[in-house]
Amino acid sequence: MKPPSSYDKKNCHSHADLIHSPPAQCKPHLWTLGSGGVAGAVSGTPPDAFSETGQLWGSPLYDWPAHEAEGYAWWASRVGRALALHDEVRIDHFRGLAGYWSVPGDAATALSGSWKLGPGLSFFEGLKARLGHIPLVAEDLGVITADVVELREAIGAPGMAVLQFGWDGNPKNPHLPHNHYQNSFVYPGTHDNETMAGWFKVRVAL
């Protein structure tokens, strides 16, 4: 069930995290699996601040044409269930819906990956056709290119800023408070960061 109605009186909403790593065995035709259920390509990221060789997550990639052919029914089921329990849905790794890093299934690191086009606006049009208006939050962190921004703005979803990412000496860093755009949520940190107490201790020591 949804949170108690007292939340609404205090202008508090709960949101569900829609992550991209459910078990492929439940609907194998919706993933890019080869013979024996082995993934020919898996998820990851190019080199970033966390790893010089990129991040190799290793989960099978979606077969987006197969999802589109079914009108994104599987996704609509997931999102609909999340909205039955929460007020809004945050899409983790939102940028993957515009373009994603595809890594060969037998690769030892993510360096050999390449960018592939995601489903884009078609994905959200499919959900809207089945569910109507969906209150969404886009986790738009990572390598954010113009196509990701355009997709987020096209669906009117707020994005994210993370305060701990802002202090790298770059005055144009989008995570600095004076660079936050209006339609966004601001988080102090993420699960990849130090706690705020620990972060402050390190900065004071510097």
- pLDDT tens profile 124-139: 999 999 999 999 999 9
Residue range 64-83, pLDDT digits in tens: 999 999 999 999 999 999 99
Per-residue pLDDT reduced to its tens digit, 138-154: 999 988 999 999 999 99
Whether 191 shows a pLDDT value over 90: the answer reads no
Q: Is the pLDDT of residue 19 over 90?
A: no
Question: Of all residues in the chain, what percent carry a pLDDT higher than 70?
Answer: 90
Residue 92 known to be catalytic: yes
- The whole-number average pLDDT for the span 176-204 is 91
Structure confidence at residue 21 (pLDDT): 57
Please tell me the predicted confidence (pLDDT) of residue 202. Answer: 87
pLDDT confidence of 117, banded at 50, 70, 90?
very high
In one-letter notation, the amino acid at residue 102 is S
The domain limits of the chain are 15-157
Q: Which of 8, 48, 150, 192 is catalytic?
A: 192
Residue 139 bears catalytic tag: yes
pTM of the predicted protein model: 0.86
Catalytic residue check, 52: no
Which listed residue (70, 92, 125, 147) is catalytic? 92
